[in-house]
């Protein structure tokens, strides 16, 4: 999915849908502070929202889950059927029920989600918290066209072309690949649901996954992946041993550190400061993989906003790790994998269906 081009002078049009007047007002105030975003309307339930979409022609719909008459999930089904390319961002509560509904929404085709801040306090703090989370998630799906280039005067020398990033010279591995490490964010639950079931039951190495998600969401993600997969998939716990044929998903709000003790590698969870505004952070896990396994890993950076994973790849790749980046065409947002590719740090750029075959090929020494 490529980002939608917003022509110069046009704002990103947002329709806000929530049964709470207070929430609709908060979301509107938060979004309107950004000069590139315009709230074109609101609706108190999904039925009204579906009616208003053709009238208001939004680029984005923010959609609450629990609403009367037509809830967010049913509205999402209708929107995906009638407007398959319209960006939908769900609002979720940090509860088990909220996490379940959000995972259902992502399965139904929601592009992303934000969590409702609880007990933030004053109105200005509520708006600031909402603005910090929601605005980047709205804008990640859009970009302005590049300005037209003006041809240089005939007498002027042509400007030098920017040099492509120099390829990184990989270090020599000291043995067979010992682990698979995966970092992913926006679009990740759907991507993981497609690729994790492709790992064979006799997978010879462990898998560590960092998906940017809050507490409860990561546990539910692991449980849903387990239902579809041949390998074991669990949420990481302190002291959990990394084993062949088992995937651990970093727990929400905790960094996942892989720590070697003799022949054993275990999970360490901590609440050190966020990196790249994330906890768990891919960079933290990737750096720890270098300490635990050296360069004997296959690292995959999948769809996601920002550049989390880039700094970790910067140390893994020179140590001999094989680095795979998801391609732009199959990424929901080509931020994280794009940063790795632009830095010249990817060994292979692969479509989502090809990620696991590429990983398995590299595990086998090809």
Q: Would you kindly state where each structural domain of the chain is located, as residue ranges?
A: 4-143, 179-363
- DSSP collapsed to 3 states, 238-274: CCCECCCCEEEECCCCCEEEEEEECCEEEEEEECCCC
Positions marked catalytic = 185, 212, 308
CATH node for 179-363: 3.40.50.180
Distances (CA, A) of 199 to 34, 179, 249: 43, 13, 15
Identical topology for domains 4-143 and 179-363:
yes
pLDDT at 174: 57
Helix crossing, 96-108 with 72-82: angle to 10°? 10
Distances (CA, A) of 291 to 286, 288, 296: 9, 5, 11
CATH node for 4-143: 3.40.50.2300
pLDDT at 158: 47
Q: Residue 17 — φ and ψ, nearest 5°?
A: -125, 115
Q: Residue 207 — φ and ψ, nearest 5°?
A: -125, 135
Q: Are 315 and 290 in contact (CB under 8 A)?
A: yes
Selection from 348, 328, 326, 342 nearest residue 163 by Cα:
342
Helix (H, G, I), strand (E, B) or coil at 235: strand
Give, rounded to a whole angstrom, the gap between the first and last alpha carbons of the chain: 30
Here the tokens at position 130 are 């909402």
pLDDT at 171: 52
Cα 193 to Cα 355: distance, rounded to the nearest angstrom: 13
pLDDT at 123: 73
Q: What is the mean pLDDT of each run of 10 residues along the chain (366 residues)?
A: 75 96 92 95 97 97 94 96 96 88 95 78 78 93 71 51 47 76 97 98 97 96 97 98 98 98 97 97 98 97 97 97 97 96 98 98 83
Q: Are 14 and 61 in contact (CB under 8 A)?
A: yes
pTM (whole model) above 0.85: yes
């Amino acid at each position: 999915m490529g980002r939608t081009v917003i022509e110069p002078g046009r704002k990103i049009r947002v329709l806000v849908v929530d049964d709470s007047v207070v929430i609709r007002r908060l979301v509107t105030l938060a979004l309107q502070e950004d000069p590139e975003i315009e709230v074109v309307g609101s609706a108190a339930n999904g039925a009204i929202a579906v009616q208003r979409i053709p009238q208001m022609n939004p680029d984005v719909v923010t959609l609450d889950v629990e609403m009367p008459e037509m809830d967010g999930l049913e509205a999402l089904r209708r929107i995906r059927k009638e407007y398959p390319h319209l960006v939908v961002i769900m609002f979720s509560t940090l509860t088990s029920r909220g996490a379940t509904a959000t995972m259902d929404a992502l399965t139904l085709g929601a592009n992303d989600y934000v969590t409702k801040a609880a007990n933030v306090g004053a109105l200005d703090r509520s708006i600031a918290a909402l603005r910090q989370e929601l605005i980047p998630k709205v804008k990640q799906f859009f970009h302005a066209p590049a300005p037209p280039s003006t041809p240089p005067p005939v007498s002027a020398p042509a400007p030098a072309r920017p040099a492509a990033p120099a390829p990184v010279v990989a270090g020599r591995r000291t043995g067979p690949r010992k682990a698979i490490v995966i970092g992913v964010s926006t679009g990740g639950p759907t991507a993981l649901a497609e690729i994790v079931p492709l790992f064979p039951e006799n997978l010879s190495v462990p898998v560590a996954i960092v998906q940017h998600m809050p507490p409860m969401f990561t546990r539910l993600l692991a449980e849903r992946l387990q239902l579809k997969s041949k390998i074991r998939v669990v949420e990481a716990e302190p002291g959990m041993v990394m084993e062949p044929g088992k995937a651990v998903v970093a727990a929400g709000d905790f960094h996942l550190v892989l720590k070697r003790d003799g022949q054993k590698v275990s999970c360490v969870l901590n609440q050190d400061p966020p990196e790249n505004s994330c906890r768990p952070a891919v960079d933290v896990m990737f750096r720890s993989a270098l300490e635990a396994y050296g360069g004997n890993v296959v690292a995959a950076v999948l769809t996601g906003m920002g550049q989390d994973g880039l700094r970790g790849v910067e140390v893994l790749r020179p140590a001999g790790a094989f680095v795979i980046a998801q391609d732009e065409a199959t990424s929901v947002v080509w931020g994280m994998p794009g940063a790795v590719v632009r830095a010249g740090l990817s060994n292979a750029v692969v479509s989502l269906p090809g990620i696991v075959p590429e990983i398995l090929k590299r595990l086998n020494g090809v």
